[in-house]
Amino acid sequence: MKIIPVRPLSASRPTAPLTGTIRVPGDKSISHRALMFGALAVGQTRITGLLEGEDVLRTAAAMRALGAEVERHDDVWLVSGRGIGGLVEPADVLDMGNSGTAARLLSGILASHPFFSVMTGDASLRRRPMRRVTDPLTACGARFSGREGGRLPLAIEGARDAMPLEYDVPVPSAQVKSAVLLCGLNAPGITVVTEREATRDHSENMLRHFGAEVSVEIQGTGRIISLRGQPHLRAANVVVPGDPSSAAFPIAAALMVPGSRIVIPGVGLNLLRTGLFTTLREMGAELRVENQRMEGGEPVGDIVAVYTELRGIDVPPERAPSMIDEYPVLAVLAARANGTTRMRGLKELRVKESDRLSATAAMLAANHVRVEVDGDDLIVHGTGGTPMGGGMVETHMDHRLAMSALVLGLGTELAVAVDDASFIDTSFPGFVELINTSIGNSGGDALRAA
């Protein structure tokens, strides 16, 4: 297993604002799916804008191990797929690194292929629960054997004759939904997934893009998704938009540093991913979208973020699925807002790369911000000015927590340090350099080795 050296960093208030154009990496969710669906299609899929972070590279390696040809030529990735049911047994363990998305989605693919495989990951991923995915997948005929709680390493015996699934997802999770749909690809008949709250629909969009028959019925706040199994997936070109979850960090940095104004081109604007943007506007942020367009079946636009004073608000629980990864950085902005911000219904944060709910509260408390956890709610009492800072944040190998803490340090009186920033590159390669460059030479390196 690859050993990643510990990389402590600190962030301090810059003497100049963030300005100019900032390009964020390609959308991680779409990048994973583009590689997987390309491997399941017939023909050669051409992918541009792929996120080349460690998480996505693990997915590329897994697809190669399962028999697909995956190559990078200049800035384009080419995937020659094997068709539905055509993947082959891997010769070695599939190491998914830090990527819960890759591990959970791949479980769905492996469950309906008649061979044996084993998945593992880094220390963080091996702590994350997998039973929420593997339990419904056993109904197709697959067998899973893992550590207590279904945790990795996980041995998978795929179904010989996979059965279609019908599953009511108990908690909002695009990963669980996608795993069931991916399993249903290699089963005859109709696989049906019911979700009580709508979650990101990249899988449904991309399945259609590759030629699958997918229907969606709205049911209250949720949806019923039906997939016809054993389709003939055709290779398709994919343009990966900028990741809105990655865009959240430079946007938050601009909203932390007075005088800042940045433009982030080509960001994905899928309505099931943009809850943070809605929330920031409710808090008073000057955040607008220009040049809206469609690329590869997904809405895209250029985001302009300008420093503004913020006010505390109540964030409703039904918004959580559309911004579940952005709550730590929202909490950072809430720390400098006027008044109290209450973020409701964050149960899902407890099973991310870390227990993000507790870890986010600990991050703020270590930097003298008043914060409470009330059940599944996070309550941040904003300073209405500049938070004190000065703390050392334990990141728990969580890339989003590390970036959130560094953004906090850009707007505090005292520098904020993180114990390890090495995992940032799993989702946002070059994050530190990008933020420092946007500040310019006159501002110095706000993010530096601790």
Q: What residues act catalytically?
A: 325
| Cα end-to-end span (Å), the chain | 27
The dihedral built from the CA positions of residue 348, 240, 195 and 229, taken in this order, carries a sign that is negative
Q: Tell me, rounded to whole angstroms, the distance of Cα 413 from its chain centroid.
A: 30
Residues 53/425, Cβ–Cβ less than 8 Å: yes
List phi, psi (to 5°) of 224.
-115, 120
Helix (H) or strand (E) holding 23, with range, is none
Q: Tell me, rounded to whole angstroms, the distance of Cα 274 from its chain centroid.
A: 12
CA distances from 14 to 9, 332, 349 (A): 15, 17, 31
Residues 6+ apart with CB under 8 A from 96: 58, 59, 62, 102, 103, 106, 119, 120, 121, 125, 152
Residues 201/193, Cβ–Cβ less than 8 Å: no
Q: Give dist(CA 78, CA 220) in Å, integer.
A: 40
Q: Give dist(CA 313, CA 315) in Å, integer.
A: 6
- b/e map 28-51, b = 16+ CB within 10 Å: bbbbbbbbbbbbbbbeebbbbbbb
Residue type, 1: M
